Structure 1
Amino acid sequence: MAERDDLSRGLWAVVRAMWSEIGPAGKAVLVALAMSAVVALVLGVAIPKQVERHLIDAEIRKLSRIVGAMADAGVIPTGPAQADELNALDEAVRLNLLGSDTVRVKVWLVDGTILYSDEPALVGAKYSLSEERIDAFNGINSVDIPNLSLRENEFERGFPPLRELYVPVADDSGSIEAVFEVYHLAEPIETTVGNIQQLVWASISVGIGSLAIFTASLILVYGRSIANRRRLAEKLFGELVRSQAEERTRIIGSLHDDIGQTLYRIHYGIEDLRSRVDADNPVAGELAHIGELVNEVDGSLRAELRSLQYGTGEELALGSALDELAEVTEMETNLSVSVHVETDCELSPPTRIALYRAAREAMTNVRKHSLATTVEVRVQRQGDQVRLQVLDDGVGIIDDEGLGLTTTRERLEAIGGGLKVKPDRRGGTQFSAWVPASECEVET
């Protein structure tokens, strides 16, 4: 069971990674393909039913013309018929209706009497009118599957599957005098509809299959292109980070060795001069003031050196880098900062650094603009993304997006991520940044 669960999680991770890689255009194409498949399935069911309906309607129209011609010829009695009238009607029915797909004909009167049938035993029998026959006497053509359990249908029980069609006969005033009930074999229409259904499904299958292959090819090409561009962006960003790290190391060394040592010499030079001047001499006060300025410059320089040395979190895990950022922020401000990292997802160094720099930019904006007292930093994995949220309880977002946010957004988008800043529903500002989690290992 555990192995099956691990396999399911692994397959789901692969699917999520592929879904992330194909990009918005690929997702739109897949949705369109799914909608096309649904429409095709609906058409595959609807078209055969419509064909069947049209074939039956055509048969009813044909029967209506034949029955109308027989009525015009005066061969359909309007009441109890004499033998010669029945013979004339029988001759017309056998000539125009019976044969091929038609196996039985009954002519009903409004009182339920069978005026005529090609089965002599039914002629003159009287039965209750079914709903379909009542509808026919109301002028409605209809079709149904015969209920062979009824007594009036006992002579049709030996036939193959049938359909019964009802055709009303009207006089010159429009009153329905009789109803023809014509029994057709169901097989010819069913066979035709079945053949059409096979052709429709074959055409739909070929069309959807071709579209699926074409779509899969497009998605594969597009997905690979997106993945290649993302890998290139990560590579370039990684090289940029390394170059910045090298330049940062050089600057730290230069500041420490050149300016730092010079300040050190100035400081001790001032202290030496102060030791040679009487304490009540005005020059001593000036030297003390200059010494304080030198100490302030030295403190600022050391703070900048620490910022340069630990500012990127490049050598640290994301959680450790964020903890250090929170600690430095609390040391330098009155903010209370909490950090919650709720995922063990391992990101590549360029992606991890980009997310950390987004957190640092968010923290800088909080310090500059928010007037907040507390800040919450949270990292979570949500679907195919690793998402960073920085929430503060300050005065809300500023109207214009500065250069720092613009640069941060562009950096994240280059590796498939993004950034959004909006007011938090509890007050303050919600800063959200995300990167793709496709490179993460499956969490357990």
Structure 2
Amino acid sequence: MSKGDMATETQVAGRAARPIPVSVGVTGVVGFSCLLAVISRDVRESGPSAGTSGLALITVAVLLTLQILVSRRYGDAPPALTAGTALAAQAVLVEALTLTDGLSVASIMYLALPFPVVFWVGGRAGVWAGAAILAWFTLRFTWHKPAWLTDPASMNAFTLFVIAVVLVTATALLIRREQASRQRAETLLHDLGASHRQLIESQSRVAELATIEERNRLARDIHDSLGQHLTVISVQLEKAQLLVEADQGAAAVAVGNAKRLADQALSDVRDSVRALRKDEAPFVLGPALESLVADLQVLPFELDLKLTGDEQRYSGQQLLALYRAAQEGLTNVQRHARASRVRLEVDLGTDAASLTLDDDGIGPPIDPGNGLRGIRERLELVSGRLQLSVAPGGGTRLSVSVPRTTTGKR
């Protein structure tokens, strides 16, 4: 079932289950009371009066029909023209009934008018309607009974009518206000439910993005760590193949270096697996760079390391980004640069950390590979930047800068 079908069914069910409007209920009660009063009066005083009783029945029936039709079609918010036409028709019917009755017991029907005005037009209009009913009734009462101010019975009837109109109008206003408050509460509850669903969806998306980011991090770690070790192992084994017959001692040294690096690669893989199961230990840049340089001493180029500054100014993520940049840069030197001398300088300054890797090889690559793209992604996470350029005197310069955070390390 589509969402549109579900919404349609909900609307149909809502219309079918809509309760009887308050104005219809009040009109029914007032009309029934008026009918009883008219019939009782006519039977008691002069026998059945089909004219007055019939008109009262027709008036009540038409009022109820109009209010039910308008409420079923528009609820409590009919168009202004529809509301005005229906209210005018009801007022004319009530007025015709009171004229026929001689402004006697049928005046009860005036009490049926404030409710539809309040619910269809508004509270302020309902107050004005109540005031207009009282003013009009006072004029007609004075016309029909000029001496009513000195007649206790007429005075009591007038007072009761005024109190009834005020109470009915006030009750309509209170009920309308209560309904408006309930509708606002339902709207807020619906909005709260929608916000809750959006929050759950957002949490799901955040969890999914965190999972993707963790996968990307592992991919970078595998590439940067395992890839670098395997590159050196490959170089050492190629060297061993070339020297196995000419210089068995040198070949044995190359094989030993390859074995040591293979053990280091296996250790890095185990570290990555442990990182998936528990929190990693704090990363320390200095020893990590020294170990990296020591592993590369077996390669056919001179490698110098200079590290200055205080690691405590930087977070573990920032330091790891610098280390991976150095690792990837040295891996590229091994693979492509054909360099004889390499210099790595890292400065952990007070405002920013910088890493510079210079070699005297063939120059920057035309199309950087996946490794450098991974380093750029890693640096973006710590607001860092990477730049490749030509080193002084030829070769390649890899420059990295990472701004210091206010939180410091850990």
TM-score class normalised by the smaller sequence: 0.3 to 0.5
TM-score by length of 2: 0.34
Q: Answer 1 or 2: which has greater strand percent.
A: 1
Higher relative contact order (CA closer than 8 Å, sequence separation 6+): 1
TM-score by length of 1: 0.32
